[in-house]
Amino acid sequence: MLLSAVSARAFEFLDFSPIHFLLSVPADEGSLAHRRHVPSRLVTVESLTERLDLEKIFGRKAPLHIDLGCGDGSFVCALAQRMPNNNFLGIERLLNRVRTSARKAATLDNVRLLRMESFYAVRYLLPPESVERFYLLFPDPWPKRR
């Protein structure tokens, strides 16, 4: 399944700095002792042109569900708890939202988070026919200061 109706405006927000999957612990959080006891879940995407190795990222082969614009991670984490036999990838471009999501996903082995523009991730990084279901809930394509 491929998401086809995505605005070309998405490219205006692309950030080509290094891309990371932020999993259980945000990179700037926790002491050295804490990090020694928490399995490393930070996976760096080496190339913007190669498809993701989902089995390597999740450590297993399972149906993949993707939450596009996962926000604070509440939805993707709730789904992951209810469906432990599936893999869940939350994609969010805003760093603070990814950090909040990472805290919520800290105890969930079947959740991974990607900080990136959804359009790019879906079009260029996901292997063809690798996704069982996409979720797109209440997107805010142009966040404003509040």
> Is 140 among the catalytic positions?
yes
Burial class of residue 64, CB neighbours in 10 A (0-12, 13-18, 19+): buried
Contacts of 18 (CB under 8 A, 6+ apart): 44, 45
Contacts of 116 (CB under 8 A, 6+ apart): 15, 19, 91, 93, 125
Compute the chain's Rg from CA coordinates: 15
Given the residues 15, 28, 53, 140, the one annotated as active site: 140
Enzyme catalytic residues:
140
